[in-house]
Amino acid sequence: MARRISARAKKIDTRTEEEQESSRKAWVTYGGPWGINIGGCIVAETAHVLLATTPASLALAALGLAGTGAALAKFINHMDHKAKRDKDVRYLHQVNAVTTTAGVTLGTVVGLESGATMGAWMLAGSGLCIANHLWSALYKKGSGEKADGKWAKLESEIGLAKHELQEAKSNGKGTVVAKIEAKDGATADEFARRIPAMTSALKLGQGRITHTVDDDDASLITMRVQVADLLKEGFAWPGPSAFGAGFGDMPINLGRYEDGETLKLNLPGILNDPQEVEGGQNVEHCVAQGVNGAGKTVGNSIIVTEAATRTEVSVIVINCSKFMQDYGHVRHAADMVITNEKDARRFFKQMHTVIKARGEYLAAKGLAKWKPGCGLNFLLIIGEEAADFADGEAYGKVLRTLRSTGGWFLSSIQRATHDQMDTTARSNHPAGMAYGLSDGAEAQYVLPPEAIDAGAFPGWANRKPGYLYAAGMGIAEDRWAVTARTYNADRPTLAAAVTAGMNVRTPMDATTAEAFGALWTNRTFYTTPLLEGDADGSGAFPQQPAAPAAPAADPASEYDADDEYEEDEDVEIDPDLLAKETEDLDEELRQILAADPEPGAYDHLSVETEIEAPADDAPVFQLPGAVADEEKLSPEDTKAAIFARMDSWVREGKDNFEPKELNDLWMRVNKKGARDWWNRLKNQLLDDGVIAKDESEEGYGSYDLIRSPLENGN
């Protein structure tokens, strides 16, 4: 039997829960004002009818309604402030509360039974209801309110419900800074893990959202959102930041941040006017890392130019790959130029003596570290393509000891990985500049963990030349993850600035120059730039080290078995021919021995024959290297002879030697265990910085001659 379906069966609601909730909110939003308008009319008229016959009661009721309305308005205002609602929303709520209170109070006193009072009520009430409807439909909610805003969507979609947005401000330059508070045990780390998802949800590029955490309250987070790239067009270099000023007077300007602020560097640590880069007042060596074409050399050239237009600073540039190509336009800014690996290794070894001399000078003046006006020039050292020299022990030692004596080292490298730079040496670079990288995660090699945690990610390779993150060097921590870009500076402009700066620069101080010794005397430097169209080297006055004197040939070394062995390796051997020749030689020897088994001058000797003693005037056979007693020297005289020869080598420009070149001297020492004595003397010279092991691939067993052993009374 067919079942009859009732026409009045319950209708099924096919809307989602969100749609149903939105519908209920719409009833409250748009129906609420009309309900208050009509309900208020009934309440006011009823109160008037009941109290009109008793004037005293009517007056008390009016006062009560007014007081209640005032209290309600104050309560609503308090709740709005606590909820961080916009000022416009707070004003709307106050207008509604005051108007409703006034209408009910007046309606209670005068009544609404007349046409005039009822018409006035309905007209004012309807106007207020319509105004509320328009507000609800058209007003764009502020960032502080959760409903229907982007933050509300982020809360629900990527899990930011426990991170409350407190305040958001725009600087008008494409940057929004928001204050966020972590609630109910939420942490900044949880927020950081959601930044990639937030970046995607807001349709921004990687690295555009960064954050910092308050040092005193870990629940307070500052989020920085860069919604537009204002660095795309770049900024022209405005010229030297402080022409003619002391290097320790004020910071140097390198470029601009994406929010328009100037990127300033505090290189000496102590500045008379540090501005916003006071930092910890310590020198912080820096690694500049970036792929080829990322803009490192341009940034370094600006730093060199800034230094070349100041006083109390000397510039040293090490570039073993392509100095003229990279720095030809500012080559006259450098007080010393080093362009080969051998001189670079020698420089780092010589720096041991330089640092010691500068330290003693500062100590004599009662100074714990370099300061402006102390009498020493600050040393600004640029090490380009640092992979060429960053594996030496002397390099790491310089980084450890240079800071307090007034020196800053910039190691420029494409990848600061362990196979390119010693990890201990890398750790002695507290500061870092991360230019574009193929893998933005490699910024961890040069930037502090705080910058990486905040969202620094320079993964743009060489697509954005000059873009970088900079940390240390006095820069505030909240700027470490803010993208910056170096100034656009053309080569002729920088060259002209350096040329003008030659009139104000301070010559290298005597203490440092003397400590460098022959390395300074024979240094390479230039007095003019090399620009496009110039003849290579025109206008330059480089001084090159004198060619080392050719050492005397060692008879014992004229024959080199290794060389013969290497030559023999190239000869093709025929096994059959070799066997035949061996057979022939063996047969020849057999025939000779058969004819005369003991040929020669000693054929009269036999086992039974007694050998006569040699005559007194017969020559005595000596082993090679042995020294006659009358030619032996005391240890003091031997040491003096060795030092004198080394001193003559230094004067002749010879800077490398092999120990065998001194065999004829140390073997003459009148002491048992001459070799041990020589090894002890050699170790002493190593400790004193007179000589150093040659660390080059072709220099195994050789030593670099750093300075004369006769200096400083040795």
Residues 272 and 401 both lie in one domain: yes
Q: What is the pLDDT of residues 495-505, one digit of tens each?
A: 999 999 999 99
Range of weakest confidence among 9-18, 173-182, 298-307, 445-454:
9-18
Q: Which tokens sit at 622?
A: 């000596």
Q: Where are the alpha helices (DSSP H) in 502-551?
A: 510-516, 518-521
Q: Residue 147 has what pLDDT? A: 40
Q: Residue 118 has what pLDDT? A: 81
Decide if 615 is inside a domain. Answer: no
Last residue of a domain, one of 501, 521, 541: 521
Decide if 96 is inside a domain. Answer: yes
Q: Where residue 156 falls among pLDDT bands split at 50, 70, 90?
A: low
Q: What is the mean pLDDT of residues 227-248?
A: 92
Q: Which tokens sit at 107?
A: 């309606």
Mean pLDDT over each residue of the chain, to the nearest integer: 82
DSSP secondary structure of 283-337: ---EEEE--TTSSHHHHHHHHHHHHHTSBSEEEEEEETTTHHHHHGGGGGG-SEE
Decide if 347 is inside a domain. Answer: yes
Q: Where residue 597 falls among pLDDT bands split at 50, 70, 90?
A: low
DSSP secondary structure of 400-429: HHSGGGTEEEEEEES---TTTS-HHHHHT-
Query: Which phi and psi (to 5°) does residue 421 adopt?
Result: -145, 135
Last residue of a domain, one of 462, 490, 521: 521
What global pTM score does this model have? Answer: 0.65
Q: Residue 129 has what pLDDT? A: 77
Range of weakest confidence among 84-98, 492-506, 597-611:
597-611
DSSP 8-state class, residue 212: E
Q: What is the mean pLDDT of residues 39-49?
A: 80
Whether 335 has a pLDDT exceeding 80, the answer reads: yes
Q: What is the pLDDT of residues 415-445, one digit of tens each?
A: 998 888 988 899 999 999 999 999 999 999 9
**CA–CA distance, 313 with 41 (Å, rounded to integer):** 85
487 vs 43, higher pLDDT: 487
Whether 154 has a pLDDT exceeding 70, the answer reads: no
Decide if 560 is inside a domain. Answer: no
Neighbours of 596 (CB within 10 A): 9
How many structural domains are present in the chain? 4
Q: What is the pLDDT of residues 386-414, one digit of tens each?
A: 988 887 788 999 999 999 999 999 999 99
Whether 233 has a pLDDT exceeding 80, the answer reads: yes
Whether 253 has a pLDDT exceeding 90, the answer reads: yes
Q: Residue 549 has what pLDDT? A: 40
CATH of the domain at 187: 3.30.70
Range of weakest confidence among 531-535, 562-566, 588-592:
562-566
Neighbours of 464 (CB within 10 A): 18
Decide if 399 is inside a domain. Answer: yes
Q: Residue 656 has what pLDDT? A: 87
Q: Are 41 and 69 in contact (CB under 8 A)?
A: no
Decide if 416 is inside a domain. Answer: yes
Measure the CA dihedral 317/320/325/327, to 10°.
0
Whether 375 has a pLDDT exceeding 90, the answer reads: yes
696 vs 507, higher pLDDT: 507
CATH of the domain at 682: 1.10.10
Residues 374 and 474 both lie in one domain: yes
Q: What is the pLDDT of residues 667-689, one digit of tens each?
A: 888 888 888 898 999 999 988 88
Residues 263 and 412 both lie in one domain: yes
Q: Residue 14 has what pLDDT? A: 63
Q: Where residue 130 falls among pLDDT bands split at 50, 70, 90?
A: confident
Q: Are 289 and 440 in contact (CB under 8 A)?
A: no
Edge to edge, what strands does the sheet with 220-226 contain?
163-170, 175-182, 220-226, 209-213
Q: Where residue 158 falls among pLDDT bands split at 50, 70, 90?
A: low
Whether 120 has a pLDDT exceeding 60, the answer reads: yes
Q: What is the mean pLDDT of residues 255-283?
A: 92
Q: Which residues of 318-328 are buried (b: 16+ CB within 10 A; e: fewer)?
A: bbbeebbebbb
Whether 558 has a pLDDT exceeding 50, the answer reads: no
Give the chain's end-to-end CA distance (angstroms, integer).
125
Percent of all residues in the chain with a pLDDT value above 90, rounded to a whole number: 37
Q: Where residue 143 falls among pLDDT bands split at 50, 70, 90?
A: very low
Q: Which of 320, 323, 327, 338 is nearest to 388 (CA)?
A: 320
Residues 82 and 40 both lie in one domain: yes
Decide if 184 is inside a domain. Answer: yes
Residues 191 and 319 both lie in one domain: no
Decide if 609 is inside a domain. Answer: no
Domain that holds residue 669: 629-713
208 vs 378, higher pLDDT: 378
Q: Residue 562 has what pLDDT? A: 42
Residues 275 and 417 both lie in one domain: yes
Q: Residue 141 has what pLDDT? A: 47
